[in-house]
Amino acid sequence: MPKTKFIFVSGGVMSSVGKGIAVASLSKLLQSKGYRVVPVKCENYLNVDAGTIRPAEHGEVFVCDDGIETDQDIGTYERFLDLSLSRDNFITMGLVYQTVIQRERNFGYEGEDVEAIPHLCDEIINRIKEAGRKSRADIVVVELGGTAGEYQNIFYYEASRIMKLRNKDSVLHVHVAYLPTPPTVGEMKSKPVQTSVHLLNSMAIQPDFIVARAQRPVDRKRRERLAMFCNMDGDDIISNPDLDSVYEVALKFDEQNFADRILKRFRLKPKGRDLDDWRQLAETVKSAAAPLPIAVVGKYFSTGDYVLGDVYVSVLESLKHAGWYHGVKPELHWVDSEKIEADGAAKHLAGMAGLVVPGGFGSRGVEGIIQAIQYAREQKIPYLGLCYGMQLATIEIARHLAGLDEANSTEINSKTKQPVIHIMPEQEKKLLKRDYGATMRLGAWDCEVVRGTKAYEAYGKTDISERHRHRYEFNNAYKSKLEKVGLVISGTSPDGHLVEIVELKDHPWFVGVQFHPEFKSRPLRPHPLFRDFIGAAVAQLNSTAGTEKSS
Ligand code: GLN
Name all domains of the chain by residue range, CATH numbers in brackets: 5-280 (3.40.50.300), 288-550 (3.40.50.880)
* Choice from 315, 410, 469 to test ligand 1 binding pocket (greatest atom count within 8 A of CB): 469
Q: What SS3 class is residue 404? A: coil
Using an 8 Å Cβ cutoff, are 155 and 117 in contact? yes
Residue 359 CA: which ligand 1 atom is closest? Answer: 8
Hey, is 526 helix, strand or coil? coil
pLDDT score at 306 = 46
The dihedral through the CA atoms of 454, 458, 460, 461 has a sign that is negative
Long-range contacts: 201-204, Cβ < 8 Å, 24+?
203/148, 203/154, 203/157, 203/158, 203/161, 204/161
Atom index in ligand 1 nearest the CA of residue 516 equals 9
Q: Which helix (H) or strand (E) holds 551?
A: none
**Distance between Cα 380 and ligand 1 center (Å):** 25
Residue 344 CA to ligand 1 center (angstroms) comes to 24
Q: Rounded to the nearest whole angstrom, what is the distance from the C-alpha of residue 308 to the centroid of ligand 1?
A: 18
434: phi then psi, degrees, rounded to nearest 5: 55, 35
Pocket test for ligand 1, best of 60, 386, 387, 468 (most atoms within 8 A of CB): 387
The pLDDT value recorded for residue 289 is: 77
Residue ranges lining ligand 1, Cβ < 6 Å? 359-361, 387-388, 411, 469-472
Checking DSSP bridges between strand 499-504 and strand 487-492, what pairing results, if any?
antiparallel
pLDDT of residue 300: 64
Residue 63: the pLDDT is 97
* 516 given a catalytic annotation: yes
pLDDT attached to residue 551: 47
Nearest CA to ligand 1 atom 5: 388
> Beta strand 418-423 with 354-357: parallel, antiparallel or unpaired?
unpaired
What pLDDT shows up at residue 128? 97
- pLDDT number for residue 285: 87
Question: In 10 A of CB 424, how many CB atoms?
Answer: 14
How far CA 87 is from CA of 39, 70, 443, in Å, comes to: 11, 8, 11
Catalytic status, residue 411: no
pLDDT the model gives residue 405: 96
Determine which one of 60, 69, 411, 518 is catalytic: 518
From the list 387, 470, 507, 527, the catalytic residue is: 387
C-alpha to C-alpha distance for 78 and 31, rounded to whole angstroms: 13
Residue 351 region by backbone torsions, left for phi larger than 0, else alpha for psi between -120 and 50, else beta? left
The model carries a pTM of: 0.93
Per-residue pLDDT of the chain (551 residues; tens, 9 = 90+): 569 999 999 999 888 888 999 999 999 999 999 999 999 999 999 999 999 988 877 889 999 999 999 999 999 999 999 999 999 999 999 999 999 999 999 999 999 999 999 999 999 999 999 999 999 999 999 999 999 999 999 999 999 999 999 999 999 999 999 999 999 988 999 999 999 999 999 999 999 999 999 999 999 999 999 999 999 999 999 999 999 889 999 999 999 999 999 999 999 998 977 888 999 998 888 887 789 999 999 886 655 544 567 789 999 999 999 999 999 999 999 999 999 999 999 999 999 999 999 999 998 899 999 999 999 999 999 999 999 999 999 999 999 999 999 999 999 999 999 999 999 888 889 988 898 898 889 999 999 999 999 999 999 999 999 999 999 999 999 999 999 999 999 999 999 999 999 999 999 999 999 999 999 999 999 999 999 999 999 999 888 776 654 44
The candidate with the shortest Cα–Cα distance to 488, out of 475, 503, 473, is 503
**Helix, strand or coil, per DSSP, at residue 419:** strand
pLDDT for the residue 307: 56
**Catalytic residue flag (residue 57):** no
Closest residue by CA, ligand 1 atom 6: 470
